Amino acid sequence: MKFDPFTLRVALSKEGSARGELYLDDGETFSHQEGQFVWREFAAEKPSKKSKGVTIKSRDLGAQKPGEAVDHVALATYDSGNEYAKRIASVRVEKVVVLGLAGKPTRVSVGGKELQWSFTPGVAASEKSEGAASELVIKDPKLPVAADWEILVEA
């Protein structure tokens, strides 16, 4: 399963944001102590305070926090293009599910390229009413799990 694609589920807060982390290593050796791992942050934020859309980003935490990457022991060096990251370069995000979006998107894109998506209306995360959350499903954006990227959801 180590080369299976990922589904990213984003449950928005009432402020329209979310954050999570993913840490991967080979699970067999201690090579993570030499920086052979992938540590990503996935964050969703509103592009502006009044926006109904959201920007979903993936960024490299290993490069940003090398002192916290391995049991809070500082790494002497860290390379985001390490051998383990290269081995899993084909592992992708196959689906992104966003729960609680305030309205139906007008466009969903990455790097200016339009993505396929579907939207089921429901309760926005910012609402106080009960019911099922709205659900945006972004279908196979083909984004590498070990790379930086940014999805723009315009509403």
Per-position pLDDT tens, the chain of length 155? 889 999 999 999 999 999 999 999 999 998 888 889 999 999 999 988 888 899 999 999 988 887 777 666 667 668 889 999 999 999 999 999 999 999 999 999 999 999 999 999 999 998 988 999 999 999 999 999 999 999 999 98
> Measuring CA to CA, which residue among 134, 138, 143, 133 is closest to residue 108?
138
Q: How much is the pTM?
A: 0.91
- For Cα atoms 19, 47, 135, give the angle at the middle one, nearest 5 degrees: 60
Of 43, 41, 33, the closest CA to residue 84 belongs to: 33
Of residues 55, 147, 145, 152, the one with CA closest to residue 111: 152
Task: Report which of 66, 43, 65, 71 is spatially closest to residue 148, judged by C-alpha positions.
Answer: 43
